[in-house]
């Protein structure tokens, strides 16, 4: 269990080649930037139905999962709710790690059903989707099945962060106005919503060689866990329990190790997520529907996203979004 900043950097960055991700994440090359405009259009289309009435996480999640499926597999996967259910089941089974032959068999069956569904979508290779791009990039390292699964997982996990950010904007009118006027500020708000309640509370790495850890010899294959949430809410951070998008704009967050890990997936997800929220803010003004979050008290360390509610009202036309 890694609790110090220095050792977290060591584990995550793989200094001295002692660590690898807990899953196989060897570099691959997919020019995903070419898909960004199409993905942003998808996000804006799906967000169009979330601009009136009272929203809860289930509504935001359903719309965002359509975004994820359309981006990864194309419009033909838009209504494939079963694919998302299988993904959730695979992730849930992975977290539980129940031992025994029956549990192992259930995991294998579930994973097999999920993989089969992915393969069906990959075979369609719909143009304008990630699956289509994978079909055009046949290098051995692209590993289409694994890539498609990871991209869908990464996009899907962002749903809670979007709901959290929307609720935070509702509770912080000044940031809501700034986010509506400036997409850069909105992106910072999304990053802040993800910092406050990370979708993945812990990251893991595996030692690839025998490693000395404060006098203890860790054999190759040892799992090292970094409790991410403990670092992003560290008491040493003056903004730990406040909604502070400015840290992503003024360079403050750039000095923190947990803001350093970056990849094409993170950048693309932030761009698409910002477009999703931006489309909502152009047509509606999120207002608090409850007292769970407030700008006048520290934000809770743990939150049940299913309890968040936001009331969407027509926007005031005193500032035009950019």
What per-residue confidence (pLDDT) applies to 216?
86
| CA geometry: angle 234, 235, 241, nearest 5 deg | 80
33-74 per-position pLDDT tens digit: 889 999 999 999 999 999 999 999 999 999 999 999 999 999
In the numeric block, the tokens 């993905």 are attached to 39
**With 70 as the cut, is the pLDDT of residue 15 above it?**
no
Cα separation, 19 vs 302, in Å, equals 30
Cα separation, 78 vs 311, in Å, equals 26
152-208 per-position pLDDT tens digit: 998 999 999 999 999 999 999 999 999 999 999 999 999 999 999 998 888 777 888
Indicate the range of 107-121, 176-190, 300-314 predicted with least confidence.
Answer: 107-121
* pLDDT more than 70, % of the chain: 84
Cα separation, 125 vs 72, in Å, equals 10
Q: What are the sequence ranges of the domains in the chain?
A: 5-313
Q: Tell which CATH architecture fits domain 5-313.
A: Orthogonal Bundle (1.10)
């Amino acid at each position: 269990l890694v609790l110090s900043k220095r050792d977290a950097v060591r584990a995550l960055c793989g200094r001295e080649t002692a660590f690898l991700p807990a899953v196989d994440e060897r570099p691959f090359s997919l020019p995903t930037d070419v898909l960004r405009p199409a993905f942003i259009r998808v996000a804006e289309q799906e967000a169009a139905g979330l601009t009136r009435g009272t929203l809860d996480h289930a509504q935001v999640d359903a719309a965002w999962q359509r975004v994820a499926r359309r981006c990864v597999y194309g419009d033909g996967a838009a209504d494939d709710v079963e694919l998302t259910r299988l993904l959730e089941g695979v992730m849930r089974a992975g977290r539980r790690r129940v031992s025994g032959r029956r549990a192992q068999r259930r995991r294998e069956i579930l994973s097999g059903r999920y993989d089969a569904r992915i393969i069906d979508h990959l075979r369609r290779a719909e143009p304008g989707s990630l699956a289509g791009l994978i079909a055009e990039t046949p290098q051995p390292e692209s590993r289409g099945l694994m890539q498609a699964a990871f991209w869908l997982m990464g996009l899907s996990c962002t749903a809670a962060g979007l709901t959290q950010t929307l609720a935070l904007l509702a509770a912080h009118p000044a940031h809501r106005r700034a986010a509506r006027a400036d997409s850069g500020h909105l992106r910072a708000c999304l990053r802040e919503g993800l910092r406050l309640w990370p979708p993945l509370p812990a990251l893991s790495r595996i030692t690839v060689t025998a490693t000395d850890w404060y006098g203890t010899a860790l054999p190759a294959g040892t799992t090292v866990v970094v409790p991410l949430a403990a670092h992003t809410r560290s008491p040493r951070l003056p903004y730990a329990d406040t909604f502070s998008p400015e840290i992503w704009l003024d360079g403050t967050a750039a000095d923190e190790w947990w803001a350093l890990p970056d990849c094409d997936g993170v950048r693309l997800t932030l761009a698409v997520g910002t477009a999703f929220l931006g489309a909502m803010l152009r047509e509606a003004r999120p207002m608090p529907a409850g007292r769970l979050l407030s700008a006048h008290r520290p934000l809770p360390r743990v939150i049940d996203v299913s309890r968040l509610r936001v009331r969407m009202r027509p926007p005031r036309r005193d500032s035009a979004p950019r």
